[in-house]
Structure 1
């Protein structure tokens, strides 16, 4: 681990991910953290952690970005004390809050995200730590599998944003910390990392919360989730059609009578 991005969600994490990737770093962003390290984060959320847990999780990764890793930036730094730390902040906490709220609303409306919760085993498995960590880190309780809207506590979110940034600024070693804004472009980032400035524009990702449009293309894990959704849809459709044929052929009363007989024989045995 060479770089720990301690900036909270909606502070430019997708842009920094793209920039670090362009600079040659292997990066774990939210999709990798949430869906490749699901078991590890479920354990962390429910039972606690040791520094060694984070060392094992990220020993083969150059950089880590976004949720839920930013929550544990200091624990990750204990595991990798030579890593540099980047903290992004918005111009104001109100600007950050508006951006977060818009992202949550777009997520709630996304058909793909709804199907993930219902039809993807990979996505459902990650719901555990989302529901444990979400309310205490972002003021957000994700929507339920039944599709209800997310519960979002604006005051709690602002409080967490304020406390998080203050903690990073107070705790991170000054010689290893860069307070950064993506509007600054390549120069401050590359100078901090000690790498050449690329001869191309700085990447700006997820403008306006449009991440849903590029998820499958940008993150391989979402291709697996997409396949799981497709397979689950086919199985559900085939099962429904077969059940319809059986009920049509034999009738409800016959099916229920036979099912009752089988249950009775099973109990007797």
Structure 2
């Protein structure tokens, strides 16, 4: 049963947050890395993004949390499906987010070794995400505006008692307080900067990696 709904876009520290949530016991946590490890799930995710939420329970069976794409684009549907789940909106300075996204998720790696069947799955999935608000063909100002609108929609729609607006630089304390969890005796996870992201995605798309997290 999903207990935490991640509403923040990718490149807002979601890879670090995934590890943090799993450290706190909310495991497994769904993240875009899970989609890349299980590319056939893009068929159902594409259906969900195009308006069929009935596929979500099967897609998220066994997961205790969601983060990143594509779940963040379906936060309303997930709130309806899991009415007791808390909502975690990971945020970042918009310009810093754009610069990171432009170097990674807005500039997807193209590799001649990518399997054609994998590309056939990822293309309609990417197009469905664009229809739901994550487009790669916009200029900087329009992309930042879309990012800001998404965050503002979450803030306007989710009850404050159910929502945490969070930056990964804040560390364990606000996250643990929100979730009613003890603060671990360890540093907050840090992972998946832009350079690491590019290498990780390449390994996944060429079948060389088991985990993108």
TM-score of the two chains, using structure 2 as the length reference: 0.84
Report what 1:122 is aligned to: 118
Report what 1:64 is aligned to: 66
Larger Rg: 1
Native 8 Å contact 1:122 1:225 kept in 2: no
Deviation at 1:198, TM superposition (A): 1.1
Deviates more, 1:119-128 or 1:93-102: 119-128
Shift in alpha-carbon separation, 1:161–1:223, aligned structure 2, 3 A = closer
* Superposition misfits of 4+ residues, deviation over 4 angstroms: 214-217
Shift in alpha-carbon separation, 1:135–1:100, aligned structure 2, 3 A = farther
Report what 1:137 is aligned to: 133
Structure 2 unaligned spans of 5+: none
Native 8 Å contact 2:43 2:125 kept in 1: no
Give the distance between the partners of 1:126 and 1:88, measured in 2 at CA. 25
Give the distance between the partners of 1:107 and 1:18, measured in 2 at CA. 23
Give the distance between the partners of 1:194 and 1:115, measured in 2 at CA. 47
Give the distance between the partners of 2:205 and 2:133, measured in 1 at CA. 28
Shift in alpha-carbon separation, 1:58–1:105, aligned structure 2, 3 A = closer
How many residue pairs are counted as aligned between the two chains?
205
Give the distance between the partners of 1:8 and 1:75, measured in 2 at CA. 16
Structure 1 unaligned spans of 5+: 141-150, 228-269
Deviation at 1:163, TM superposition (A): 0.8
Give the distance between the partners of 1:57 and 1:136, measured in 2 at CA. 18
Structure 1 position 39 matched with structure 2 position 43 = yes
Deviation at 1:122, TM superposition (A): 3.3
Structure 1 position 29 matched with structure 2 position 31 = yes
Deviates more, 1:129-138 or 1:63-72: 129-138
Report what 1:159 is aligned to: 145
Give the distance between the partners of 1:18 and 1:216, measured in 2 at CA. 21
Structure 1 position 169 matched with structure 2 position 166 = no
Native 8 Å contact 2:111 2:202 kept in 1: no
Shift in alpha-carbon separation, 1:3–1:115, aligned structure 2, 3 A = farther
Report what 1:73 is aligned to: 75
Report what 2:208 is aligned to: 226
* Higher RCO structure (Cα 8 Å, ≥6 apart): 2
Paired residues for 1:185-224 under 5 Å:
185-214=171-200, 222=204
Deviation at 1:80, TM superposition (A): 0.5
TM-score of the two chains, using structure 1 as the length reference: 0.68
Give the distance between the partners of 1:136 and 1:45, measured in 2 at CA. 7
Give the distance between the partners of 1:28 and 1:101, measured in 2 at CA. 23
Q: Secondary structure at the match of 1:85?
A: strand
Q: Secondary structure at the match of 1:205?
A: coil
Paired residues for 1:99-114 under 5 Å:
99-104=100-105, 107-108=108-109, 113-114=110-111
Higher helix share: 1
